[in-house]
Amino acid sequence: MKKYLCSITLLLTFVLIGKSQTSLVTKKGTDKKWWKEAIVYQIYPRSFKDSDGDGVGDLKGIISQLDYIKSLGVNAVWLNPIYSSPNDDNGYDVSDYRNIMKDFGTMADFDLLLKGLHQRGIKLVMDFVLNHSSDEHEWFKQSKSSRTSPYRDYYHWWDAERVKPNYRYSLFDVNHDAWKYDSTTNSFYLHYFSRKQPDLNWENPKLRKEIYDIMKFWADKGIDGYRLDAFQFAAKDTSFPAFPKGFEKNFVPYYAMGPHLHDYLKEMNQEVFSKYDVMTVAEGAGNNFQDAHDLVDADRMELNMAYAFDAIDLAKMEGYDFMKFKGTFTKWDSVFEKEGWLSIFLASHDQARIVNRFGNASPEYRDLSSKMLSTFLLTMRGTPYIYNGDELAMTNAGFQKISDFRDMPTLNEYQYQLNHGADMDKFMKRIEFESRDNARTPFQWDASKNAGFSTGNPWIQVGANYKAINRAAQENDPQSVLNYFRKLTALRKKYPAFVYGKYTLLDKSNTAIYAYTRELNDKKFLVLLNFSDHIAKANTGIKISNAEIVLANYSKQLNNGDLQPYEAVIYQLR
């Protein structure tokens, strides 16, 4: 669970994007594509903007803020699931893949949202939860009704009169047990996530066909991309062999990249992706670089990109290993330099806030470190994903009581730890730092009641610091985190070197500074980032005396070239 809370822990008004993409299509990973040039803004709909005062964000709320989204300079939006759902896992438990969750609005609202985004040159990537459905999905209701139901094989069942099924770890279950007994048919069903999230049986071609039809339904509506939730876990060895004792401590190698996963993705590509101009990204990149290449290399005809957790998982309550951080990003860049494509992200709805995890959330350094981290995300090769609120440097929630938390796996794990006599103070400290709820507090729009998120009672408490950190306060301040973020997106769109350019790590052994160059044709940039709270010297060997500063998070640089705490500078070299 700990591991997963960390590990679960998505595009252009660019001139290029509007142009014919087909003219650019060839097979190599280095070719130009709109989704490579995308800057993805992830919106957590439940917490973004509530239009009707019920305390839950909704589609009309997002529609009301389309001009704000456009003003950020992003060119794609990834929306967390908005389909009908009983909300056991905030929409990651889908009960009808062709309808909109009541809390969020109607299909008419969705159509308006999509139109509004497209009118502003912004693409829409939808989240597809295809490893599992809700137990309230009609398929599951039918499936559990009888052993002879035509839907029985849409899920994984194990008849209870057989020898007990081998243990499978559930990431979200209060007992960590992925087999749930159901008396209706005297059988167990499999759920890698919660009991209300039964795993779909991808081995069944009928199920696969239904899913592809659903995916086409949304593509026909005009969406621009698919984020495949937890898909690396979808393929199973249905004989459910025994795994070594204790495998749950490091379960990903046992659950990811199961038999035929690539066959399913190739089939999905053929049936769906190949018919539309869509971006495709998987959550999880397998167990090694070869797995990752096999998922995303263009000639494989599977996906465009995946996102790996290697770097994001480094952040722990105690801090993170900066040298590993640099090493991880550098290694991933080199492995994907010629073939395939990367996602660049350090935050999502599954992790606590970026500024708490990789920056410094103290009032002194919060804005500086947030700007520095955004500089990193927007100057690396790969498609960057920015989680809503990070453009304002929103921080962790500061929840201290278990009753403040809403996240189902957090609450189930609390119960599990309690049942097993764990040190609960220690557990509370851990979730205070790393619970997913930290990133799910309402978006801080202004200093009014509930941060302007809702006129009602928010489903989760508003961050205590909303009067200091909010969009309205930052809007007219030229030095704000928000306005700095806008400069970064403009820069990335102006210079293709930041998207496609060669990345070279400099001053590798520097324990405070991340220094690198990005270069394409006649354009070369030097990026200097101080990840520490002290002054540090960069030894890049590059003369910056006649270089031009294109963006910096301090108004003045030190005369001797040292970098100030959390300083970020982008130089254009001549």
* 8 lines the binding site for ligand GLC (CB under 6 A): yes
57's tokens:
């964000």
Are 237 and 202 spatial neighbours (Cβ–Cβ below 8 Å)? no
Chain positions 466 to 525 lying near ligand GLC, rule: CB under 6 A, are none
Query: Considering only residues 230, 377, 482, 536, which one is a binding residue for ligand GLC as defined by CB under 6 A?
Result: 230
Cα angle: 354, vertex 278, 58; to 5 degrees:
55
CB of 74 to ligand GLC, least distance (A): 20
Query: Considering only residues 58, 103, 229, 413, which one is a binding residue for ligand GLC as defined by CB under 6 A?
Result: 229
Chain positions 257 to 286 lying near ligand GLC, rule: CB under 6 A, are 283
Of 360, 347, 290, 357, residue with least CA distance to 317:
357
* 193 lines the binding site for ligand GLC (CB under 6 A): yes
504's tokens:
């070279």
Of 499, 516, 501, 515, residue with least CA distance to 383:
499
Looking at the Cβ atoms of 193 and 264, the one nearer to ligand GLC is 193
CA 265/CA 232 separation, integer angstroms = 10
Are 417 and 376 spatial neighbours (Cβ–Cβ below 8 Å)? no
* 405 lines the binding site for ligand GLC (CB under 6 A): no
CA 488/CA 344 separation, integer angstroms = 15
Of 329, 332, 154, 312, residue with least CA distance to 234:
154
For ligand GLC (CB under 6 A), the number of binding residues is 10
CB of 171 to ligand GLC, least distance (A): 8
CB of 25 to ligand GLC, least distance (A): 30
* 411 lines the binding site for ligand GLC (CB under 6 A): no
* 294 lines the binding site for ligand GLC (CB under 6 A): no
CA 208/CA 526 separation, integer angstroms = 47
CA 241/CA 133 separation, integer angstroms = 24
CA 509/CA 538 separation, integer angstroms = 10
Residue nearest to ligand GLC (CB): 92
Are 235 and 202 spatial neighbours (Cβ–Cβ below 8 Å)? yes
Looking at the Cβ atoms of 229 and 367, the one nearer to ligand GLC is 229
Phi and psi for 160 in degrees, rounded to 5? Answer: -70, -20
Looking at the Cβ atoms of 255 and 445, the one nearer to ligand GLC is 255
CB of 312 to ligand GLC, least distance (A): 12
> Is 364 among the residues known to form the active site?
no
CB of 129 to ligand GLC, least distance (A): 5
Looking at the Cβ atoms of 76 and 506, the one nearer to ligand GLC is 76
Looking at the Cβ atoms of 414 and 498, the one nearer to ligand GLC is 414
> Is 229 among the residues known to form the active site?
yes
Using CB under 6 A as the criterion, what x/- string covers residues 123-162 for binding ligand GLC?
------x---------------------------------
Are 14 and 34 spatial neighbours (Cβ–Cβ below 8 Å)? yes
325's tokens:
């951080």
* 56 lines the binding site for ligand GLC (CB under 6 A): no
Q: Which residues bind ligand GLC (CB under 6 A)?
A: 8, 89, 92, 129, 193, 229-230, 283, 349-350
**Positions marked catalytic:** 229, 283
